[in-house]
């Protein structure tokens, strides 16, 4: 290897500053000929971390030696570019499950995920113990329709074990042309044996906000992800619920919402919170310390709010739930959330190359860290199946008896719609949230004055 001294210096500089390990082309003996400390001096100019430690030069030399031995002795030829990609990928994967090395296709996927249109199966995933773990399936996608759940481990893709693969390799295998099929082998905590699921890839157009008017008083808004237009859609759907004079309370469903854009989450929390902090971030560098404050406006005008979360509620979902809980603006119901309390920054380090690096932690308004702790609901309700409530709803009453006496003063009976009965019959947590929001609405209703109260007796005084 006939490199000039200047080339060697440049290669060392690239290894430390940009993780481009071109120094590995030097043998250990050649590396020792360079004054490495002098070559690295310019790299620490402008460093803001006063605790920065000296560069581990011995390990850099070891890396160079390992690189050369792989090149010379591996059973099959392997390109320099591939080895360098593996090295950078391994370095980032070793930090935490959310730091990633991204080439052009991965950067494109990241952009697709924030805009809400992409091809694939429709689920948020992460690496855990060498397997791909499902954080949350996205509503109305092949993953959700196939019954995949939060916490499921994907151990094989098309029969090929993925243990040892990178997350980007696994997601690339699951993506493909819409209409083509892929078979996943799933390991589920509640089942002893793995099982296979065949899914058909589709173009994923994520509608992130869904609205249901449960009855005249109660509205329901589900947010499946926090993307570029989510906050604007949320305001529009909330306005459609508010247009009824009898509207009195809202259920906000954040279950199985894997997160998304921080600004989108802050905007939605700000719809309900009128003052103070919504969320803060803290990192090693001053530019990573931020605080997001509420504006003085509550679109719900103080009406009761119940927030649904579960183990699939992560990141931005936890920011919203934590802010509403700390400000006592909404009651949180369900199961503890995922616990992803870290901030990732996308950094472009070259043409069509970038890294997603964890740079800070989230903190709720009261100063709680979400990381590995999650949001603990105010009302714990585990998901479960129960016998259909329709049998109770349809029991015989006085009103059903032939020839019953009429009551002209009786309020009209607001019959539950078939859609509502179906929703509540299939979702125990939502059923409990519906009961709770109705109780809160009733509790908040002002007491009638004696003149308005038809049951009050003339001349009676309280106490």
224, 315, 317, 337: the catalytic one is 315
343: nearest Cα among 315, 372, 310, 373: 315
Instruction: Judge residue 410's burial from the number of C-beta atoms within 10 Å of its C-beta, 0-12 exposed, 13-18 middle, 19 or more buried.
Output: exposed
Q: Report the alpha-carbon distance of residue 224 to residue 305 in Å, rounded.
A: 18
152, 326, 337, 342: the catalytic one is 326
The answer to whether residues 279 and 362 touch, using CB atoms and an 8 Å cutoff, is yes
Supply the DSSP string of 2-55, one letter for each residue. Answer: ---HHHHHHHHHHHHHH---GGGGS-HHHHHTS-HHHHHGGGGTT---TTPPPP
270: nearest Cα among 324, 223, 308: 324
- Adjacent-strand bridge partners of 131: 128
Q: Is 340 a catalytic residue?
A: yes
Q: Is 61 a catalytic residue?
A: no
Cα–Cα–Cα angle for 376, 382, 385, rounded to 5 degrees: 165
Supply the DSSP string of 386-421, one letter for each residue. Answer: ---THHHHT---GGGSTTPPP-TTSPPP-PPPHHHH
Between the CA of residue 65 and those of 35, 69, 147, what are the distances in Å?
17, 6, 49
Q: Is 326 a catalytic residue?
A: yes
- Adjacent-strand bridge partners of 27: none
The answer to whether residues 322 and 277 touch, using CB atoms and an 8 Å cutoff, is no
Distance of CA 130 to the CA centre of its chain: 21
61, 303, 340, 356: the catalytic one is 340
Q: Report the alpha-carbon distance of residue 451 to residue 445 in Å, rounded.
A: 17
Residues acting as catalytic residues: 315, 326, 340
């Amino acid at each position: 290897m006939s490199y000039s001294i200047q080339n060697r210096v440049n290669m060392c500089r690239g290894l430390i500053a940009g993780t481009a390990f071109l120094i590995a082309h030097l043998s250990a003996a050649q590396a020792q000929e360079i004054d490495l400390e002098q070559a690295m001096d310019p790299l620490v100019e402008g460093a803001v971390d006063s605790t920065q430690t000296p560069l581990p030069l011995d390990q850099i030399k070891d890396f160079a030696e390992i690189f050369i031995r792989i090149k010379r002795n591996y059973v099959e030829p392997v390109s320099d570019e591939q080895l360098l990609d593996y090295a950078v990928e391994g370095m980032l994967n070793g930090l935490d499950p959310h730091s990633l090395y991204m080439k052009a296709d991965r950067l494109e996927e990241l952009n697709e995920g924030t805009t809400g249109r992409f091809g694939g199966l429709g689920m948020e995933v992460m690496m855990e113990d060498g397997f791909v773990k499902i954080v949350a399936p996205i509503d109305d996608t092949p993953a959700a329709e196939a019954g995949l759940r939060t916490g499921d481990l994907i151990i094989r893709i098309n029969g090929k074990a993925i243990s040892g693969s990178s997350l980007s390799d696994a997601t690339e295998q699951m993506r493909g042309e819409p209409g083509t099929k892929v078979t996943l082998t799933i390991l589920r905590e509640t089942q002893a044996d793995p099982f296979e699921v065949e899914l058909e890839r589709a173009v994923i157009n994520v509608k992130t906000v869904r609205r249901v008017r449960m009855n005249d008083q109660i509205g329901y808004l589900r947010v499946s992800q926090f993307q570029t237009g989510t906050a604007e859609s949320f305001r529009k759907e909330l306005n459609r619920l508010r247009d009824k004079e009898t509207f009195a309370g809202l259920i906000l469903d954040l279950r199985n919402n894997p997160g998304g854009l921080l600004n989108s989450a802050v905007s939605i929390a700000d719809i309900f919170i009128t003052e103070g902090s919504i969320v803060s971030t803290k990192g090693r560098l001053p530019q990573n310390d931020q605080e997001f404050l509420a504006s003085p406006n509550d679109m719900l005008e103080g009406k009761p709010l119940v927030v649904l979360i579960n183990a699939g509620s992560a990141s931005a979902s936890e920011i919203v739930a934590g802010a509403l809980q700390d400000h006592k603006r909404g009651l949180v119901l369900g199961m503890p959330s995922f616990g992803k309390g870290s901030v990732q920054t996308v950094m472009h380090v070259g043409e069509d190359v970038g890294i997603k690096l964890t740079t800070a932690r989230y903190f709720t308004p009261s100063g709680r860290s979400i990381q590995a702790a999650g949001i603990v609901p105010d009302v714990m309700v585990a998901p479960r199946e129960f016998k259909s409530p329709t049998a109770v709803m349809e029991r015989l009453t006085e009103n059903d008896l032939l020839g019953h006496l009429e009551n002209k003063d009786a309020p009209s009976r607001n019959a539950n719609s078939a859609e509502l009965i179906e929703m509540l019959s299939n979702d125990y947590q939502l059923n409990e949230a519906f009961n709770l929001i109705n109780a809160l609405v009733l509790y908040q209703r002002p007491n009638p004055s004696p003149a308005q109260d038809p049951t009050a007796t003339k001349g009676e005084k309280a106490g």
